[in-house]
Chain A
Amino acid sequence: MSSETGKILTTDGIPLEVSLKKAERKNKIKAFLLVAPLLLFLLITYIFPIGDMLMRSVDDKMVTEMLPKTFKSMEKWDGKELPPEEVFESFYFDFQKLVEEKRDGKLSTQLNYTKNGFKSILKKLRRKAKNFEEGNYKEQIMAVHKRWADVEYWRAIQRRAPAYTSQKYLKGIDMYKNEEGKIVSVEEDRRVHRILWLRTLEIAFFVTLLCFLMAYPIAHLLATLPMKYSNLLMICVLLPFWTSLLVRTASWMILLQQQGVVNDFFVMIGLVADDNRPEMMFNKTGTYVAMTQILLPFMVLPLYSVMKTISPSLMRAGKSLGGTPFVAFWKVYFPLTIPGIGAGCLLVFILAIGYYITPALVGGASGTLISNQIAFHMKSTLDWSFASAMGLMLLAGVLAIYWVYNKLVGVDNIKLG
């Protein structure tokens, strides 16, 4: 069956190599077509909208589009002294057009974000501009209010020229670009976002640690007990896992309230006085307790599935070779559970860092996290670009953690239990 060139042919006379490649390609296309519907669906409804968030978070076209002539004529202005007549003239015409379209209010809000004091002088300009004569707009505008003769205000307008801005990201870490274009922090008493980021990290870290400390012993017990007992105890882990998050949060609200069961118990054993019941809800304590209980199953399940695969004879071998039970545990058992620890900690930490519902209900003001701030801007202030920017910063953090984890342990080790 060998041809002149020495290639193996199939019965149709096509070289085997070509035929195999063709079959391979066909299989590849077949496999891809199966995945395609879901992939396409997710790309359209999920992945692209995340890209849309990125666009929104840096988008600053509004002012750029409202004052096109002004920014064009400003290109030649060096920003040191008052701009030339040409700039005043084009600003006047841009502004008149906005007044006609009734969009001057939006401009004044936007410019007021950049520098306080624009609102009143724009209002005044709108009133006076009706009686402006043709020519020499610089004099006429400057006569409206003395701030129009202040170069600072013109510089503030110029700063809004670019169509894209990093302002929302800077705001997310309590920084801003000052008049000279330098990036500086806001005053110390207004650094709300940094506190939130740090608190989110702190709570996520300690919740992960608490979950680990609690999950390790019970996962070990579940993995070493005979099947009939461990199955029964497993229900204690799985029932909360399958129960609605809101139900579990509700039960913590009942337990932790001032007249709640936990406080009743403390009073009963004489730990606290009846008239001096501690606040355990609407603060950090509430967030810690509720989040730890809610996320605990996510730590137990990966640990359990790893521990289940460790043969008990290894510990016996360690002990028979002269190690005390503690040494045998530390040198033999513990290193084998590291993939489970990694998976559990990653899962809990990532879930905790983006937690929203529980902190919003039991956290009060001092126990809320960055997600609550994002939701607040989405629903209350409607500053969607800021919410997008904060969301993407959080996402970048999560992906970074995920990447580090993948380098250290490998994502394939994650099991759903």
Chain B
Amino acid sequence: MMDAMDALAAMADDARAILLLCSSIAARRGDDARPLGPAGWAMVAQQLARVGLAPGSLLGLDEAALAQLLGDAVPSAEAVARQLSRTGQLAIELDRLAMRGISAVTLADDAYPWRLRDRLGPKAPPVLFTAGERSLLNAGGVAIVGSRDIDAVGESFAADVAASAAGSGRAVISGGARGVDQTAMRAALAAGGTVLGLLPEGIERRIREPETRQALTDGQALLASPYHPGAGFTAGAAMGRNKLIYALADVAVIVASAARTGGTWAGAEDALNAGWVPVFVRAAEDAPEGNRLLLRMGAHPLEAPDAPDAPHPSAAAPTRPAAALEAPFVQDSLGLDDGA
């Protein structure tokens, strides 16, 4: 298992540049220049691709050179110069995080999940912070989602699907929240399976919990988040990470969703529209109203709590290299969009 310290030692300048621009971990406290989001970074990447430069070559350029090179792709060359100058602070903060078992993976890294790169294009988060077994980033698996408040029937359905996924050697991908998420993750671990948790907040707090930590240490789990490791929970952040759960999986199961409201509904709607993966919904007499609506919108019904197979096995991971130089949104889709 590659640990956080090995990852830090191997870090390349391309990754450094992305971290400086797209996260605030090295930022000066109180600096009001916001890090670039996926769309902001996509514009910079496109501009770099046009002139044939790697992101790492931004390091060491002064404000004038950056203004000339990036032009309108960034709101302020002055802010970019300031952010890029902080490689020293970045090293110290990354080392601090590495000593806590946290590493960063960027669009410039081979370890970056190809599913996100290919499926989300310009919406792929430029940086993910992770702890645990990094190979799970690219392992695919069964996404299991649903609301926080869930009845006993739903809970046992979620647990059974998770155990079934574990039994067939597939990872369970979930959101790490109360309710369906944690039920599914616990059941998968109990069945000896692996889990990938996409947190709606920074991962630094969560990895201190003894239960989570044990799973991470044992190599059974990976926690990941696109947010600053110390960030707290926000509803917006939770919505933002829902699409990552779907896009990292090979197939998704919705256990319970409210109708036309809440995070589960919004995420499911996105997933059905985008068609990243086949979406299954628990179909039962007593299932919530939202489940029935989603079935009408084209989700597959799932009656027995068995992890469904993806119509297209995902064994064929693309062999393309880290594509930091390519503007993410000009990449081909993998053609998995038959989930409707």
Co-assembled chains A and B: no
B residues near A (Cβ < 8 Å) are none
A residues near B (Cβ < 8 Å) are none
